[in-house]
Amino acid sequence: MDKNLEKKVVFQGKHENVVEINEHLFVVNKKQRICVIPFTISSQGLLDQLGVTESRNALTDRSDYTLINGYVTSDDSTDLVAANRLVFEVIGSNIKNAKDWMYLGSLYNKMTSDSEIKLYSVNLTDVSVVEDRDVQEMKAIKKFKMLESNKVVTTDDSLLLAAYLRLLNYFYINSLK
Protein backbone atom coordinates (compact mmCIF):
# COMPACT_ATOMS: atom_id res chain seq x y z
CA MET A 1 0.00 0.00 0.00
CA ASP A 2 1.20 3.51 -0.79
CA LYS A 3 2.74 5.05 2.32
CA ASN A 4 1.11 8.40 1.49
CA LEU A 5 -2.40 6.94 1.85
CA GLU A 6 -4.11 7.75 5.12
CA LYS A 7 -5.97 4.65 6.38
CA LYS A 8 -8.40 4.91 9.29
CA VAL A 9 -10.90 2.36 10.68
CA VAL A 10 -14.24 4.18 10.92
CA PHE A 11 -16.43 1.26 11.96
CA GLN A 12 -15.79 -2.20 13.42
CA GLY A 13 -18.51 -4.78 12.84
CA LYS A 14 -18.80 -8.42 13.79
CA HIS A 15 -17.86 -9.68 10.33
CA GLU A 16 -16.20 -6.67 8.68
CA ASN A 17 -14.58 -3.30 9.25
CA VAL A 18 -15.14 -0.14 7.28
CA VAL A 19 -11.95 1.78 6.62
CA GLU A 20 -11.48 5.23 5.16
CA ILE A 21 -8.61 5.83 2.77
CA ASN A 22 -8.25 9.32 1.30
CA GLU A 23 -11.93 10.16 1.83
CA HIS A 24 -13.18 6.84 0.32
CA LEU A 25 -14.79 4.03 2.33
CA PHE A 26 -13.88 0.36 1.90
CA VAL A 27 -15.17 -2.87 3.45
CA VAL A 28 -12.58 -5.27 4.86
CA ASN A 29 -13.95 -8.69 5.82
CA LYS A 30 -12.64 -10.24 9.03
CA LYS A 31 -13.49 -13.77 7.88
CA GLN A 32 -13.07 -15.58 4.57
CA ARG A 33 -16.25 -15.43 2.46
CA ILE A 34 -17.56 -18.45 0.55
CA CYS A 35 -20.29 -18.63 -2.11
CA VAL A 36 -21.79 -21.76 -3.63
CA ILE A 37 -23.79 -22.25 -6.82
CA PRO A 38 -25.60 -25.62 -6.85
CA PHE A 39 -26.53 -26.94 -10.29
CA THR A 40 -28.13 -29.84 -12.11
CA ILE A 41 -27.27 -31.29 -15.51
CA SER A 42 -29.91 -32.21 -18.11
CA SER A 43 -30.08 -35.62 -19.81
CA GLN A 44 -28.26 -34.01 -22.76
CA GLY A 45 -25.34 -33.06 -20.50
CA LEU A 46 -26.18 -29.37 -20.46
CA LEU A 47 -26.41 -27.02 -17.50
CA ASP A 48 -30.07 -27.34 -16.51
CA GLN A 49 -30.91 -25.60 -13.22
CA LEU A 50 -29.04 -23.44 -10.72
CA GLY A 51 -29.73 -23.13 -7.01
CA VAL A 52 -30.28 -19.54 -5.97
CA THR A 53 -31.45 -17.69 -2.92
CA GLU A 54 -33.45 -14.50 -2.94
CA SER A 55 -31.96 -11.70 -0.91
CA ARG A 56 -33.29 -8.26 -0.11
CA ASN A 57 -30.95 -5.30 -0.51
CA ALA A 58 -31.60 -3.10 2.53
CA LEU A 59 -30.27 0.00 0.75
CA THR A 60 -32.43 -0.26 -2.38
CA ASP A 61 -35.32 -2.22 -0.81
CA ARG A 62 -35.21 -4.61 -3.79
CA SER A 63 -34.95 -8.38 -3.88
CA ASP A 64 -32.75 -10.28 -6.29
CA TYR A 65 -31.36 -13.75 -6.82
CA THR A 66 -27.92 -14.45 -5.41
CA LEU A 67 -25.69 -17.34 -4.35
CA ILE A 68 -25.71 -19.37 -1.16
CA ASN A 69 -23.10 -17.49 0.84
CA GLY A 70 -21.47 -17.25 4.22
CA TYR A 71 -18.18 -17.32 6.08
CA VAL A 72 -15.53 -19.89 6.87
CA THR A 73 -15.71 -20.51 10.62
CA SER A 74 -13.14 -21.88 13.05
CA ASP A 75 -15.06 -25.21 12.97
CA ASP A 76 -14.44 -25.58 9.21
CA SER A 77 -11.20 -27.44 8.49
CA THR A 78 -11.12 -26.25 4.84
CA ASP A 79 -12.96 -23.92 2.48
CA LEU A 80 -14.67 -26.92 0.90
CA VAL A 81 -15.96 -28.06 4.30
CA ALA A 82 -17.39 -24.56 4.77
CA ALA A 83 -19.01 -24.67 1.31
CA ASN A 84 -20.56 -28.06 2.08
CA ARG A 85 -21.83 -26.78 5.44
CA LEU A 86 -23.50 -23.80 3.75
CA VAL A 87 -25.26 -26.07 1.25
CA PHE A 88 -26.23 -28.55 4.00
CA GLU A 89 -27.81 -25.71 5.99
CA VAL A 90 -30.10 -24.96 3.04
CA ILE A 91 -30.88 -28.35 1.45
CA GLY A 92 -30.18 -30.75 4.33
CA SER A 93 -27.91 -33.00 2.26
CA ASN A 94 -24.23 -33.62 2.90
CA ILE A 95 -22.50 -33.85 -0.48
CA LYS A 96 -19.40 -35.91 0.31
CA ASN A 97 -18.32 -36.95 -3.19
CA ALA A 98 -15.46 -34.68 -4.26
CA LYS A 99 -16.38 -35.26 -7.94
CA ASP A 100 -19.61 -33.29 -7.32
CA TRP A 101 -17.68 -30.18 -6.25
CA MET A 102 -15.77 -27.69 -8.35
CA TYR A 103 -13.75 -24.65 -7.30
CA LEU A 104 -14.59 -21.75 -9.62
CA GLY A 105 -11.90 -19.39 -8.33
CA SER A 106 -11.98 -16.19 -6.33
CA LEU A 107 -13.52 -12.82 -7.04
CA TYR A 108 -12.74 -9.42 -5.63
CA ASN A 109 -14.90 -6.34 -5.68
CA LYS A 110 -12.01 -3.98 -6.33
CA MET A 111 -14.15 -0.89 -5.93
CA THR A 112 -15.27 -1.40 -2.34
CA SER A 113 -13.26 -4.24 -0.80
CA ASP A 114 -9.93 -6.01 -0.90
CA SER A 115 -11.41 -9.23 0.44
CA GLU A 116 -11.62 -12.25 -1.83
CA ILE A 117 -14.79 -14.28 -2.19
CA LYS A 118 -14.17 -17.94 -3.01
CA LEU A 119 -16.66 -19.51 -5.43
CA TYR A 120 -17.64 -23.18 -5.44
CA SER A 121 -20.19 -25.12 -7.44
CA VAL A 122 -21.82 -28.42 -6.56
CA ASN A 123 -23.63 -30.86 -8.82
CA LEU A 124 -27.00 -31.83 -7.30
CA THR A 125 -28.15 -33.93 -10.27
CA ASP A 126 -27.90 -37.27 -8.44
CA VAL A 127 -28.19 -35.93 -4.89
CA SER A 128 -31.32 -36.79 -2.96
CA VAL A 129 -32.37 -33.58 -1.27
CA VAL A 130 -33.84 -34.02 2.19
CA GLU A 131 -37.44 -32.82 2.32
CA ASP A 132 -38.16 -32.81 6.07
CA ARG A 133 -39.84 -29.94 7.89
CA ASP A 134 -36.58 -28.31 9.07
CA VAL A 135 -35.17 -28.25 5.53
CA GLN A 136 -38.42 -26.85 4.15
CA GLU A 137 -38.31 -24.08 6.77
CA MET A 138 -34.68 -23.23 5.96
CA LYS A 139 -35.41 -23.18 2.22
CA ALA A 140 -38.26 -20.77 2.94
CA ILE A 141 -36.08 -18.56 5.14
CA LYS A 142 -33.26 -18.46 2.55
CA LYS A 143 -35.82 -18.31 -0.27
CA PHE A 144 -33.90 -21.09 -2.01
CA LYS A 145 -35.05 -22.52 -5.31
CA MET A 146 -33.70 -24.21 -8.39
CA LEU A 147 -33.95 -21.79 -11.30
CA GLU A 148 -33.70 -22.69 -14.98
CA SER A 149 -30.19 -21.78 -16.10
CA ASN A 150 -31.38 -19.42 -18.85
CA LYS A 151 -33.26 -17.34 -16.22
CA VAL A 152 -30.10 -16.64 -14.20
CA VAL A 153 -29.08 -13.84 -16.56
CA THR A 154 -32.08 -11.82 -15.36
CA THR A 155 -30.36 -11.17 -12.02
CA ASP A 156 -28.57 -7.92 -11.27
CA ASP A 157 -26.26 -9.70 -8.80
CA SER A 158 -22.75 -9.60 -10.27
CA LEU A 159 -21.53 -12.42 -8.01
CA LEU A 160 -24.20 -14.81 -9.32
CA LEU A 161 -23.53 -13.75 -12.91
CA ALA A 162 -19.77 -14.25 -12.50
CA ALA A 163 -20.25 -17.71 -10.97
CA TYR A 164 -22.69 -18.63 -13.72
CA LEU A 165 -20.27 -17.52 -16.44
CA ARG A 166 -17.41 -19.50 -14.90
CA LEU A 167 -19.61 -22.59 -14.63
CA LEU A 168 -20.94 -22.13 -18.15
CA ASN A 169 -17.37 -21.76 -19.42
CA TYR A 170 -16.46 -25.09 -17.79
CA PHE A 171 -19.36 -26.83 -19.58
CA TYR A 172 -18.47 -25.13 -22.88
CA ILE A 173 -14.80 -26.15 -22.70
CA ASN A 174 -15.75 -29.73 -21.82
CA SER A 175 -18.23 -29.89 -24.72
CA LEU A 176 -15.38 -29.10 -27.14
CA LYS A 177 -13.33 -32.09 -25.97
In this prediction, residue 127 carries a pLDDT of 84
Q: For the chain, how big is the Rg over CA atoms in Å?
A: 18
List b or e across 123-145, with b for residues whose CB sees 16 or more CB atoms inside 10 angstroms. Answer: bbeebeeeeeeebeeebeebebe
d(CA 30, CA 44): 43
Looking at domain 31-176, its CATH architecture is Alpha-Beta Complex (3.90)
Q: Where are the alpha helices (DSSP H) in the chain?
A: 79-91, 133-142, 158-176
d(CA 3, CA 68): 38
d(CA 33, CA 71): 5
Locate the domains of the chain by residue range.
1-30, 31-176
Q: What is the pTM of this model?
A: 0.83
In this prediction, residue 76 carries a pLDDT of 93
Per-residue model confidence as pLDDT tens for the chain (177 residues): 556 677 788 899 888 888 888 888 888 888 888 999 999 999 888 889 999 998 887 778 888 888 999 999 999 999 999 999 999 988 888 898 999 999 999 988 666 666 789 999 999 998 877 777 877 787 877 888 899 988 888 888 888 899 999 999 988 887 776
In this prediction, residue 177 carries a pLDDT of 67
In this prediction, residue 110 carries a pLDDT of 64
